[in-house]
Amino acid sequence: MLLTPGPLTTSKTVKENMLADHGTWDDDYKELTEWVRHELVAIANASQKEYTAILMQGSGSFGVEATLGTAIPKQNATLLIAENGAYGERMVQMADYLNIAHVVLKVPETEPVTRELVATALEAHPEITHFAVVHCETTTGILNPIETILPELQKHNIVTIVDAMSSFGGVPIDLTTLQADYLITSSNKCIQGVPGFSIVLAKRATLETTQYQARSLSLDLYEQYRTFEDDNGKWRFTSPTHVMYAFAQALRELAVEGGITVRFRRYQTNEQRIREGMLDMGYKVVIEEAVQSPIITSFLYPTDDFDFHDFYEYLKDRGFIIHPGKVSRVNSFRIGNIGAITKTDIDRLLQVVADYTTEELHPARA
Ligand SMILES: *Cc1c(COP(=O)(O)O)cnc(C)c1O
């Protein structure tokens, strides 16, 4: 069982949908692709006329890189990147690689990006035309308040890009209200599919101004969009067919569960149960509860000589995979709350952690 921020634990039926082979030219496959694109716009509460979903081969980072590399003109444009963790930092690296003029708004990893910080950066840099931020910074599990940040940018007609990789599908996002120009996620996060492609929800009017802007042939978001649109769901270049069938099943299962709001509550309950169970055992969290997302929780090493590798192997032997920490200044590990996991799974996890804590960390007390 994966207690990680993606790939995550998927249902048996999602996996079973990968047992047949499919041709990419086939009409059934193209129809499935169109249905998936349509459904993604619908669950973002956006209108099909205003928004579109573009699928891009590769992991989530490929979708972010395709968006940054296509959305920002080569001249007379500057990107402001809000960074409070590893994924914000990855966007800065992409901007460096792609030669995109950019300004970095650096915020401590344990604090959220705020509207006030963004407003101050805009005042200092009137040249800014585009803005990128991570919604759930999976580094810590912090949730940046995009609903209050984006209106500040829209007042200045700044194009907005949201990395909602680890939140979309698990945290309600209403694009009709939010009006983000680009919002990015992937097949293997909260929609609970398997890895293989990223997803960009884009405002058509914005995207349609980006022809010939891309800095990469394969990651040309505009051309990818045109091929889907002009060829009734035909992907540009070879697509991950099995992953698509699994993903379509994952979307059906999201609807059966009751949609994003119901899934959000399940994740919140998971998060609470894990956090409270760990706190009861004496573990401490890295970030404040007020900005904690229901996606993943970071815990401090319980002792100075805590051996993460040993803890990891102990949990793995008993059926659970967790994630190392990613916060730079403190020693931490992370437990993911997303995926096809239930209360029973969590109770079993907490029992295993309790056993480890008494046997390995406090052997004298055992
Ligand atoms: C998972 C994730 C990504 C993408 O990472 P990949 O390893 O390329 O899939 C990007 N941003 C955030 C916030 C993520 O959680």
- What mean pLDDT do residues 279-306 have? 93
- Return all residues near 106 (Cβ < 8 A) that are at least 6 apart: 83, 84
Tokens for 281? 């055992």
Strands 51-57 and 79-83, sheet pairing: unpaired
Strand partners, 201: 53, 183
pLDDT band at 89 (very low <50, low <70, confident <90, very high): very high
The protein residue with its alpha carbon nearest to ligand 1, atom 3, reads: 60
| Cα–Cα distance measured from residue 186 to residue 195, given in angstroms and rounded to the nearest whole number | 8
pLDDT band at 364 (very low <50, low <70, confident <90, very high): low
pTM here is: 0.96
Alpha helices (runs of H) in the chain, residue ranges in sequence order: 12-16, 27-43, 60-71, 86-97, 115-124, 146-154, 175-178, 204-207, 221-230, 241-257, 260-280, 308-317, 343-356
pLDDT single digits (tens) 146-203: 999 999 899 999 999 999 999 999 999 999 999 999 999 999 999 999 999 999 999 9
Query: Is the pLDDT reported for residue 12 higher than 80?
Result: yes
* Burial of 285 per CB tally in 10 Å (0-12, 13-18, 19+): middle
Query: Is the pLDDT reported for residue 366 higher than 60?
Result: no
**pLDDT the model gives residue 365:** 58
**pLDDT the model gives residue 360:** 85
- Return all residues near 173 (Cβ < 8 A) that are at least 6 apart: 44, 45, 135, 164, 167, 183, 260
Residue of 4, 57, 83, 87 to test ligand 1 pocket, by largest number of atoms within 8 Å of CB: 87
**pLDDT the model gives residue 185:** 98
Q: How far is the CA of 102 from the centre of ligand 1 (A)?
A: 21
Decide: 165 in ligand 1 pocket, CB within 6 A: yes
* Fold of the domain spanning 260-365: Aspartate Aminotransferase, domain 1 (3.90.1150)
The protein residue with its alpha carbon nearest to ligand 1, atom 12, reads: 165
* Fold of the domain spanning 12-256: Aspartate Aminotransferase; domain 2 (3.40.640)
Quick one: how far is CA 220 from the chain centroid? 21
Q: What residue type is assigned to position 197 of the chain?
A: F
Decide: 33 in ligand 1 pocket, CB within 6 A: no
**pLDDT the model gives residue 209:** 98
Q: What residue type is assigned to position 22 of the chain?
A: H
Decide: 168 in ligand 1 pocket, CB within 6 A: no
* 329 marked ligand binding residue: no
- Return all residues near 305 (Cβ < 8 A) that are at least 6 apart: none
Closest ligand 1 atom to the C-alpha of 58? 8
**pLDDT the model gives residue 329:** 84
The protein residue with its alpha carbon nearest to ligand 1, atom 6, reads: 60
The protein residue with its alpha carbon nearest to ligand 1, atom 9, reads: 60
Q: How far is the CA of 75 from the centre of ligand 1 (A)?
A: 28
| Cα–Cα distance measured from residue 351 to residue 346, given in angstroms and rounded to the nearest whole number | 9
Phi-psi bin for 120: left (phi > 0), alpha (psi -120 to 50), beta?
Answer: alpha
Q: How far is the CA of 164 from the centre of ligand 1 (A)?
A: 9
**pLDDT the model gives residue 31:** 97
CB neighbour burial string for 149-185, b if at least 16 within 10 angstroms, e if fewer: bbebbeeeebbbbbbbbbbbbbbebebeebbbbbbbb
Query: Is the pLDDT reported for residue 290 higher than 60?
Result: yes
Decide: 139 in ligand 1 pocket, CB within 6 A: no
Decide: 87 in ligand 1 pocket, CB within 6 A: yes
**pLDDT the model gives residue 82:** 98
Q: Domain segments of the chain: what residues?
A: 12-256, 260-365
Decide: 51 in ligand 1 pocket, CB within 6 A: no
- Return all residues near 309 (Cβ < 8 A) that are at least 6 apart: none
Decide: 186 in ligand 1 pocket, CB within 6 A: yes
Question: If we measure between CA atoms, which residue out of 324, 310, 325 comes closest to residue 363?
Answer: 310
**pLDDT the model gives residue 52:** 98
